[in-house]
Structure 1
Amino acid sequence: MAALPSVVIVLPSLKISGGVKEAIRLGRELADAGVSVHVLAMWRSPQPVDNIALNVVALSNWQTRARIAALHLPILFARFRRHRRSIDAGRESDHTHYVFTHFATLPLALAVPRDRRWFFVQGLEWMIYHPGLIRYILRWIILAFYRRGRLLTANNYLTSQIRRLDITVEAEAPIWADPAFRSTQDLCRDIDAVMVLRKGDHKRLDLYHALIDEARRQAPEITLAVITPETEVAQVVRDRVAHCWLRPDVDTMRTVYARSRCFVMLSEHEGFGLPPLEAMGSGCVPFCRDSGGVCAYMVDTLGELVFPLDWPVGRIVERLRAVLADPQAWATYSAAARRIFDEGLERSRSRADRLVGSLASPARTEHST
């Protein structure tokens, strides 16, 4: 019987974020399938993910700072090579695969043979910048790495986008919301619309502020709530909405979604966009700009609630108001949200087993060391 491959997941840090959490969750699923999984974190985060339940090695105790990150890379590269030798010791190195998760981790991939160098694509990272030179350069660098490794994508939307660039995708590990977000609670839905606010140009905090102002002016009867991991954001919006939660746990978020009739997401680009899907597990109806990844789960009837990027916030508020005023329409959307959530949850249960098969198979394209 062939030995199972071992996997090393390389993260920029253990910062609380969707991309990091999903990489760790995939690692746990692989571990449950019998794979030996290690996690390497390049930098320290002041707010790390906890209860990882995997072997974690910190390559440094430096805190993440974008401005000086490049200065750290030579030392991090040397430490990574040393840890790689340690991890590979005692086993056939061909059975150890390295999964690089974010742009910041890509330089370390140069220390790994191409046939065992995987990139977990959870988004088109260059899209977080405005069109211009920075986006162009970042796109060129990322795609150069992708063409020299093996690609694992997080959903069919990302697979299609990468294949359009004539780059091979070897496997999909479809992201889906944590089963813990599934709720059948029949709570009083005293929140009309909930939003998750994060920093980042592509997250469009400016649009959320505009929507909050527009809703207060145009539809003061709408009860708004905000969830955010950012202390500064909470301080700004707390007095402008009915409810504000700072870094709530999963149980609290599930309860908030069960109390909410709709979820609004205004991002410019998302490789997936988990928060609306997590809310759907409680029958909360998503309203999203067409940021890309949301189309992986806002299908069938819910596709009517994916809005063009050029819609002004006033028009989104009007559409939200119309659905809230129509109990039958809201109930139809809510039932669809629960159904889509449950169906995707069932499909995602076997993704670790499928990925183990891909890791054990030869690369689809010719690679050299």
Structure 2
Amino acid sequence: MSRTSEPAVTVLLPVYNGSRLLAEQIESVLSQTGVAVRLHIWDDASTDGSLDVCRVYEARDSRVTLHASAENAGLVKTVGLLAQTVQTPYFAMCDQDDIWDRDKLEVSIGALESRGAVLAYSDVRTVDEHGKVVDTSYWQSRRLRPLPRAGAPILSIYRNPVLGHTIVARREVAMHLGETPEGVRYYESWILSAAHSLGTSCAVERPLGSYRIHGHNLVGPAPSTTMARISRLLRTLPARQADRFHALDTMARYFPEVSDVTRTLGTSLPARIQAARSLYGLLTTTSTGQMTRLQRVRESAMTALSLSSDMKVGREKTVDVCFVLPGWALTPVGGYRVVYEYASLLAERGHSVAIVHLRMSHLRRRTPREIGMRAAYRAFRHRRPTWFDLSPRVSVVNEFTPDVGALPRARTLVATSVATAPIVAARVREQRVHGLYLIQGLEDFTVPLEEVEGSWRLPLERFVVSRWLLDELQGRGLDATLIENGVDRRVFRPDPARSSGTGVLAMVSDQAWKRTDLVVDAFTRLSRNRPDLPLRTFGVCERPNGLPPGVEHVREPSRAALADLYRASRVYLCASDKEGFGLPALEAMSSGCAVVTTDNGGVPGFAGEAVLVVPAGDADELYHGVETLLDDPELWDRYRGRGLVRAEQLDTARSCDLLEASMIDAWRPSER
């Protein structure tokens, strides 16, 4: 493509005392491919030599235009001044200390055109001040999701995935900004509001640059511990609330319905309650996407509050079924996902459903972390999982103390672990209701085997997720019903545009029995013998030590991102010593991967001849299993085909049918 036919874009770069890292950012802007770049810099009365750096580039490159203020005006006002200089069809925001990928603007403008949007934004990787990668995805590290494409972007003032320097938009947005808002520290809500009042936004769900985290960022690094998160929340709460109020005021310019909310904001408690009610109502009507998401928030919050209120005064509201989990899970956990899926399905079928997260605090020492967790459970008593889209009809209660009295009155109570089984059994005896025990693994890694077996013998109806678990119980003279886990084939499906991916994928974990060491060993050999083979890992843990430099690690991927990882891979590798079920392997099969697994009980149990099985703990056999599938296209195609057939047979809804039938059968005698 000739330079004259490339789309023209003006990059807006506000600068204030950024001389140390400024040159690297400017170079990455001027090196953009597929677009005709103009760089407009505005120095906001810097005192550290930044202006001199900018003058050098203006003299060297005709694409650079420099402006300067005599007095410091602040970031947002400087952005407003820069926006007035845009004459090209597109403009892009830029920070002074980051690094752009060479195709950032080309990809973003392509997204604008293909999706008919007026503003695009993207994920970024985070790096330290020396450029070393800290997280491969800013969104994943902060558990963020793209915003609804239309309507007042109110969600952005609570969980904002839009970093200002990722914004690429049409010129009409710059022209629609108007007067600079007062009191606003961040310009994202300003530009987003203007854009959404003109059309829609779109997200590019891949990193298009490196966001440099250091001590001078407006948005700093995410705290690494629970105590640090709580401490920062309390310390920054007043300023964050002020930022939100200012952002709402800014949105009111473009969305008249928001002004109804801002008028009710005040210092008195009644005024804040009224504002909150108005805000919830607005969030559920501004757009179809927001209505779906926030109607769930509204309904579940009201249900949970009603439930907790009844419990406080002793007038317990009876629900059809209550699942009891051992504490909340801040990151994706396979066993929790299974419970959440059953809860959502039962709720959508018309049953009233509650989930209680009981932290097993009696098993833990009284440490500063536990004191912090107690405070967190009290502050977020109805906190819902952020990584799973739980049905709005499911109420959630989080209890720090594992007490029988913490459970609501329910027609069926479901234990989900060796820790919660005794508590559920005691409540079942007390209330004389139906009790189930969903057994998802041999939990001898948390308690002695004798205690696990003791929980199995409690007077609860037993369900197991794997055939090997069924054998374990039957070998002890215990009956159980097999309900194998299913897969959501709407998410985990093959890519119709290509027959297969090209790389190898594996899940890694800090848990020793997941055998990350075997994954590292196999990937080290593969990277040495097949240097062009894409190798990827994912998990909730940090990048494991020892992984070859060329291996991509994705931390806490969303379900959609995980499905993309499966589809991009030819072989999935499961290295665990033992698995209750092995849901990721099933997801990989459903997405079109051939699977190599150790003989860990769970995966061979549900997959049978649909996977290539090697001895557990054998690094050589695991590596050779992967090599065999990569070298033999016919064998690979055979395992892939078997995997797709088996995955189609495993359906969560069918498993839920068995669970529901057991509950209904147990309820009938009391209703005659």
Does the alignment pair 1:123 with 2:461?
Answer: no
2:328 partner letter: L
**Structure 2 partner of 1:355:** 659
Label 1:259 to 1:146 Cα distance change in 2 as closer, same or farther (>3 A). same
Secondary structure of residue in 2 paired with 1:350: helix
Show CA shifts across 1:255-301 (max 9, x none). Answer: 1111110000100100100111101112100000010011233223x
Kept after mapping to 2: 8 A contact 1:298/1:306:
no
Label 1:161 to 1:25 Cα distance change in 2 as closer, same or farther (>3 A). same
1:38 partner letter: A
Does the alignment pair 1:306 with 2:613?
Answer: yes
Q: What does 1:40-189 correspond to in 2, within 5 Å?
A: 40-43=356-359, 48-53=386-391, 54-60=394-400, 75-77=401-403, 80-81=404-405, 83-84=406-407, 87-88=408-409, 96-114=411-429, 116-126=434-444, 128=445, 138-148=448-458, 149-169=460-480, 171-179=481-489, 180-187=491-498, 189=500
**Aligned counterpart in structure 2 of residue 285 of structure 1, from 564, 577, 594:** 594
1:76, CA displacement in angstroms? Answer: 2.6
2:412 partner letter: H
Within 2, Cα distance between the matches of 1:238 and 1:155? 32
Secondary structure of residue in 2 paired with 1:20: helix
**Aligned counterpart in structure 2 of residue 229 of structure 1, from 530, 540, 543:** 540
Secondary structure of residue in 1 paired with 2:438: strand
1:34, CA displacement in angstroms? Answer: 2.4
Secondary structure of residue in 2 paired with 1:320: helix
Within 1, Cα distance between the matches of 2:464 and 2:319? 19
**Structure 1 partner of 2:326:** 12
Does the alignment pair 1:269 with 2:584?
Answer: no
Kept after mapping to 2: 8 A contact 1:219/1:321:
no
1:109, CA displacement in angstroms? Answer: 2.3
Label 1:196 to 1:240 Cα distance change in 2 as closer, same or farther (>3 A). same
Within 1, Cα distance between the matches of 2:428 and 2:419? 19
Show CA shifts across 1:50-105 (max 9, x none). Answer: 43221001113xxxxxxxxxxxxxx431xx41x43xx32xxxx6xx1111112332
Label 1:205 to 1:238 Cα distance change in 2 as closer, same or farther (>3 A). closer
Larger mean Cα displacement after TM superposition, 26-35 or 193-202: 26-35
The higher radius of gyration belongs to 2
Could you state the TM-score of these two structures normalised by the residue count of structure 2? 0.44
Label 1:145 to 1:191 Cα distance change in 2 as closer, same or farther (>3 A). same
1:48, CA displacement in angstroms? Answer: 4.9
Label 1:14 to 1:181 Cα distance change in 2 as closer, same or farther (>3 A). farther
1:21 partner letter: R
Larger mean Cα displacement after TM superposition, 329-338 or 270-279: 329-338
Within 2, Cα distance between the matches of 1:332 and 1:256? 21
**Structure 2 partner of 1:248:** 557
Could you state the TM-score of these two structures normalised by the residue count of structure 1? 0.78
Label 1:239 to 1:308 Cα distance change in 2 as closer, same or farther (>3 A). closer
Kept after mapping to 1: 8 A contact 2:324/2:424:
no
Mind listing any 5+ residue stretches in structure 1 that lack a counterpart?
A: 61-74, 130-136, 364-369
2:639 partner letter: Y
2:655 partner letter: R
1:190, CA displacement in angstroms? Answer: 5.3
1:362, CA displacement in angstroms? Answer: 4.9
Does the alignment pair 1:210 with 2:210?
Answer: no
Does the alignment pair 1:27 with 2:347?
Answer: no
2:630 partner letter: L
Within 2, Cα distance between the matches of 1:349 and 1:39? 19
1:178 partner letter: D
1:182, CA displacement in angstroms? Answer: 2.0
Within 2, Cα distance between the matches of 1:189 and 1:247? 24
Label 1:195 to 1:76 Cα distance change in 2 as closer, same or farther (>3 A). same
**Aligned counterpart in structure 2 of residue 327 of structure 1, from 605, 623, 633:** 633
Within 1, Cα distance between the matches of 2:437 and 2:402? 18
Kept after mapping to 1: 8 A contact 2:596/2:625:
no
1:18 partner letter: G
Secondary structure of residue in 1 paired with 2:570: strand
1:314, CA displacement in angstroms? Answer: 2.3
Higher relative contact order (CA 8 A, sep 6+): 1
2:642 partner letter: A
Label 1:158 to 1:33 Cα distance change in 2 as closer, same or farther (>3 A). farther
Secondary structure of residue in 1 paired with 2:607: coil
Kept after mapping to 2: 8 A contact 1:188/1:259:
no
Q: How many residues align?
A: 319
Report % sequence identity. 22
**Structure 2 partner of 1:69:** none
Within 2, Cα distance between the matches of 1:190 and 1:154? 29
1:222, CA displacement in angstroms? Answer: 3.7
1:349, CA displacement in angstroms? Answer: 2.7
Within 2, Cα distance between the matches of 1:323 and 1:310? 19
Within 2, Cα distance between the matches of 1:201 and 1:46? 29
Within 1, Cα distance between the matches of 2:529 and 2:601? 28
Show CA shifts across 1:95-121 (max 9, x none). Answer: x11111123323422432256332110
Larger mean Cα displacement after TM superposition, 36-45 or 143-152: 36-45
Within 2, Cα distance between the matches of 1:162 and 1:265? 25
